[in-house]
Structure 1
Amino acid sequence: MAFYFLIYWHFLLMVMVIMIVAGIVTFLFPKFPSIVVLIISGLMGFVYSICIDFKDGIYFFISINVVVASIPILLIRYLLFLKRKAEEMEVE
């Protein structure tokens, strides 16, 4: 129960911003390496745990941020793959 009170509203805000930024970066710059976006989102989780002074939850925040950032990256990569396949089928 004590852990629940340590996660404030800004945790949810951080997760939403990370999802939006990861999606925008992946969509606008398709050649940009996804691992860089995942590393930056993991660093944001590290910085967040230091800012709220909860150093025991570092791995939790890093893993949540990486998983949350990978969702829009995978969806947009799949969207670009389907777009490329549709263009290939259209040429044939």
Structure 2
Amino acid sequence: MMWGDGMGGGMGWMWLFWLLLIVGTVVLVLVLVLVLVKAFTENPGGTRQGGTAPPPTGGGPRRSREILEERYARGEISTEEFRERLRTLEEGER
């Protein structure tokens, strides 16, 4: 059975097309916003804000001695190795 002149049957589905178009547009805008937020919240070094950055390089002999003492305190190196490396550091300072 035909409804009216036969043209009105397809128009009932037009609301679905518009709904999908609107939802797709909203999703696209949200994805774009998320990508932009992520791009602008990263530091130049590649780490995110609030993340841990790599330790600074350099620092001179004093920092080298601190690192050596920390490793010795954690038990990563033996007393003999600590003394040997400390001697090497002190020779390098002269």
Higher helix share: 1
The TM tier, using the shorter chain, reads 0.3 to 0.5
* Higher RCO structure (Cα 8 Å, ≥6 apart): 1
